[in-house]
Chain A
């Protein structure tokens, strides 16, 4: 009898501990089977030092979109893999950098591009440049062109605010009918000229340097 009570107490503690570890947002929105799988993925990510909030967000997003359990779990697993790859490519990286890097990878940016960005701007926050890279590709700029331009701009001392303005002007040009690659190259050249004229200095050796902007590629015919 005494042994039974001890087991019952331990089981209660385990259940209480599990419940305490659960994210109440997920517990409200996911069925028990999906919740268990997602929590396991989140625990693994936490152990690996990967930000877990984007995983919870992804599960909540797909739950709201009324996806099946398999789809939700698969999407969270894919997101965790992207976050892990971004972390490895950008190491050391902040949570913001990892999240932006995962989005960039989701658009097809190779991990080597993220690593190159980290190399040219070691010690600097990269959330905005990586976000601009992902957003340009989302607007239709080819991965190679966007990667080359953002890396070139990152070599300069372009501030984050200017990087965002650059992206906005490219988006405006595209909205007005320019080809994405042409708009990106033209605006990047202008940004490089402005940086050079302003005496912007590269963080590495202090020498003013205009970005080496790639020529726009002809559009690929469908």
Chain B
């Protein structure tokens, strides 16, 4: 190290050792703030408490429970929507379950929102061996939508339907065509095999 460097260091050290001159009233102001018990960041403390990152632990079971509660809340919120449908009375044979609104993207057009409703079809046939649902929504395919037996001679199935008007009927034991007694009938078809209609409305904007 050269002598010039020694002189420079000594000059800097001398400057640093000089006492700091402080406003004579500074101590008084600090003590007054302390006695008043106020934090200088009092107005921001609540916000800081909210935004301060925290870590917490959650068991896998608790995680599933939380996810289930969130999903139930979302379904409840969506079900309070305003999509009209053929939701029948509790005694009805066609019941509508919570509405799900899903984005549907069509090729060549902007994505649109389309209402999808899960419609439960119920048919009472205590002595039937099989009941199938056929209609516009399953291309009138007798094997596509079988109903499952339930208590009391009821047969049920749920089908997701988008907005529209659908004609359908039940086929009992593969040969008997039965209209849904709880739904409006379709216009007569000239061949004596009755059908029913269900109308699903668009979601309210």
Contacts and interface: CB of A to CB of B under 8 A. Distances in A.
Interface of A: 25, 53-54, 57, 60-65, 67, 71, 75, 96, 99-100, 103, 106-107, 125, 127-128, 131, 134-135, 138-139, 159-161, 163-164, 167-168, 171-172
Contacts of B86: 164
B186 A103 contact: yes
A135 B189 contact: no
Contacts, number: 89
A167 B189 CA distance: 23
A65 B177 contact: yes
Interface size range on B against A: 20 to 34
**The 5 nearest A-B residue pairs measured at CB:** A106-B187, A135-B184, A160-B84, A60-B140, A161-B84
Nearest to A78: B190
A103 to B, nearest CB: 6
B164 A96 contact: yes
B172 interface: no
A164 B197 contact: no
B87 to A, nearest CB: 7
Interface string B81-96: 0101111110000000
A139 B85 contact: no
A131 B187 contact: no
A135 B167 CA distance: 12
A103 B187 contact: yes
B84 A159 contact: yes
A218 to B, nearest CB: 24
A125 B202 CA distance: 9
Interface of B: 82, 84-89, 134, 136, 139-142, 163-165, 167, 177, 184-191, 193, 195, 197, 199, 201-202
Contacts of A64: 134, 140-142
Contacts of A138: 184-187, 197
Contacts of A159: 82, 84
Contact of A128 (B140, B177, B184, B201): B201
A144 to B, nearest CB: 17
B165 A63 contact: no
A66 to B, nearest CB: 10
Given A107-B187, A160-B84, A135 B197 contact: yes
A106 B190 CA distance: 11
B37 to A, nearest CB: 56
B186 A67 contact: no
Contacts of A62: 189, 191
